[in-house]
Amino acid sequence: MDENMSLMDRINEKYPKFSKGQKRIADFIRENYDLASTYTAAKLGKEVGVSESTVVRFACELDYDGYPELLKAVASTVRTHSTSIQRLETAYKRSEQKEDLLTSILNSDRARIKETLENIDYEMFDRVVDVISNADSIYILGVRGTWYVAGLLGHYFRMIFDKVYVLEGNDNIDTLEQISRIKSNDCFIGISFPRYSQRTRTAMKLAKSHGAKTIAITDGVESPLLEYADYPLIAKSDVMAIVDSLTAPISVINALIVAVCMEKKDDLEKRLHVLEELWDEYKVYDDHMIE
């Protein structure tokens, strides 16, 4: 079985051959994946009326290396398919089982950074730095929960490059009009995490059709951006109630900004001298010291 196949696709493919007990597990996961993401193997078995060992065998039947791997796949399904209401209900369930809220969230962010660090493609990162550094124009798009991440990237890139466009717009056509003149020597950076933005995928498709180099900053193999991305940068995200935790992606973006700064060091120093004089003249920053 393709290791990149989603949990639901695995269940659908194997379902006709499942035993009655395995079908009860499959039905529960398909209908209540948000709840299943919080269950131990023993609790899931009790919920559907089978033994814990049956649940473990079910995970193996789906070609996962045990129940923890199945649980990760369920969690991925929650991230990509859950509504905001389901996410909030899942957060309530988790808050009853784990440590205090602050500790839980900080530990989750730390785990996503660790997972990203262990799996990121360093060669791809270097290639992305090279593509961005040599682009004539840079187009950046993040929609809804990722708009501020796109803004962060655009803010710093504008210190380095002349032509940086953080795309806006209320619908597909507004966004597509803004990249209608993108060319082969430009690059498009699409940022999207679950729940994935259809608008970002459509914009990346158009950019690629114009021959532009396309960079995706996203979370993994299920991301629809990968279909049109020449250069994927993978960073792990998480879901916390109605909040998308993008701590790890922002860390990768911070590293990307610094790496591009090093690549464009001479030009950047000249620009910063001009900017510092401007900021000083117009008192952009408060230099008041508390005594």
Annotated domain spans of the chain: 7-84, 116-281
Q: How many residues does the chain have?
A: 291
- Range 7-84: architecture per CATH: Orthogonal Bundle (1.10)
What is the reported pLDDT for 281?
82
Task: Please report the pLDDT score of residue 291 as a whole number.
Answer: 55
Spacing of C-alpha 58 from chain mean position: 29
Amino acid at 216: A
Distance CA 101, CA 183 (A): 47
CA distance 188 to 130: 14
Residue 238: left (phi > 0), alpha (psi -120 to 50), or beta?
beta
| Whether residue 195 has a cis bond before it, omega within 30° of 0 | yes
**Among 206, 197, 102, CA closest to 150:** 197
Location of structure tokens 């969690």: 75
Q: Which residue in the block uniquely carries the two structure tokens 């910063």?
A: 272
Whole-number Å distance between alpha carbons of 36 and 46:
12
Superfamily of domain 116-281: Glucose-6-phosphate isomerase like protein; domain 1 (3.40.50.10490)
Average pLDDT per consecutive 10 residues, the chain (291 residues; last block may be shorter): 73 91 92 82 93 93 92 78 58 59 82 92 97 97 92 95 88 87 96 88 96 95 89 86 81 96 89 85 73 55
Contact 191, 77 (CB under 8 A): no
- All residues at 6 or more sequence positions from 281 whose CB lies less than 8 Å from its CB, including other chains: none
Of 192, 191, 139, which is closest to residue 161 (Cα–Cα)?
Answer: 139
pLDDT in the model for residue 8:
86
pLDDT of residue 168: 83
Phi, psi of 163 (to 5 degrees): -115, 90
> What is the SS3 assignment for 189?
strand
